[in-house]
Amino acid sequence: MIRTPSHKWFVSHKKQLVTLRVCLPKVPFHLIDLQVEPTHISLNTFRFSRKYQLDVKFPEECKVNPYRANAFSTDKGYILVNVPFAHKEEESSPSRNIADDLAEEKQICKGREESSEIQKEEQTPFLMEKLPLFRSVYKQFCQRLMRDIPSAYRRRRILLSFRSSFFSYLRGNLSLWELKQIVNRFRKTSRKSVSSRQLKCDDDIPQKVSQPKPTKDMLLRVAEEVGSKVDNVQQMKNEKERELSMLFQSRQQKKELRRERRRLKRKFAKNLAHQRIVQPSEVVQFQRKTRDPVVQFSVHT
């Protein structure tokens, strides 16, 4: 369903401006199609789920310049389209506007070129500081390549790509993190080539290696190796089971020892309590820690 949004005109003769306010709540600004013509404004939101369409004509007393119109959105869901008035010179000579636009573009391009030249002049001492560091890193990298990669052609390709990436980093096209990633990638490839290399060849000539056909002896050897591996795995499993059983037995023995100790402690405590029972008419002697004489008295129960 296509609806017509609520809108309102504002004409300011002081600012020489015509403003159209359109209420489009919850409609993204980048999904609004807007066209400003010398006589009218057309607006639609067919690219959004809520379909709005508006075609309105400018007031009769207002003659506008649609090439200088601008539009923006507000936080409250309004779209404001500002269109300035057209002067008599602009009405008579529309080509003059194009010349002004071209002159403005030329000035902008000149400003960009000047700013880029200033940046280059500022970067030159920074580059000269980085070059000695690059020489040391480059020497180390060449030594590693000579050690790891026997092929001269492949070494040359890697070094050229490494140099080009480093100089692009100096120019500012690459970040330091990207340069480190490239260097690490080269190191990984060189290590892989060393690990996968079986024959030593100084040139890049592809050498054909004849692979032996499988025979009975080879199959038997492979079967023996597989069987030995299976036996080793089984032995390891048996050893683990034996260790677990020994551990279980030791735990059981510890439990039995604890029970026996508790039983002996209870028995010893019973005997001690039986010995401590005082018999009738027994003489008990108490002696103090001081030098007093021994006091004797009898206890009757």
Q: Is 63 helix (H, G, I), strand (E, B) or coil?
A: coil
Assess whether 130 and 83 both reside in one domain. no
Instruction: Look at residue 52 and tell me if it is in a domain.
Output: yes
Query: Which of 11, 27, 10 has the alpha carbon at shortest distance from 79?
Result: 27
Q: Which among 137, 159, 194 is the end of a domain? A: 194
CATH code, domain carrying 72: 2.60.40.790
Instruction: Look at residue 98 and tell me if it is in a domain.
Output: no
Assess whether 61 and 8 both reside in one domain. yes
Instruction: Look at residue 83 and tell me if it is in a domain.
Output: yes
| Domain that residue 62 falls in | 2-87
**What are the two backbone dihedrals, phi and then psi, of residue 109, each rounded to the nearest 5 degrees?**
-65, -40
Instruction: Look at residue 155 and tell me if it is in a domain.
Output: yes
Helical (H) or strand (E) element with 250: helix 216-275
Q: Which among 87, 105, 135 is the end of a domain? A: 87
Read off the amino acid at residue 170.
L
Structure tokens of 222? 């492979």
Tell me what pLDDT residue 213 has. 56
Q: Which among 87, 110, 136 is the end of a domain? A: 87
Instruction: Look at residue 299 and tell me if it is in a domain.
Output: no
- Count structural domains, the chain: 2
Assess whether 80 and 154 both reside in one domain. no
What are the 10-residue block averages of pLDDT along the chain, 301 residues in total? 88 88 88 88 89 89 86 85 77 55 67 54 46 64 72 74 72 72 67 48 47 63 75 84 86 88 86 62 50 53 50
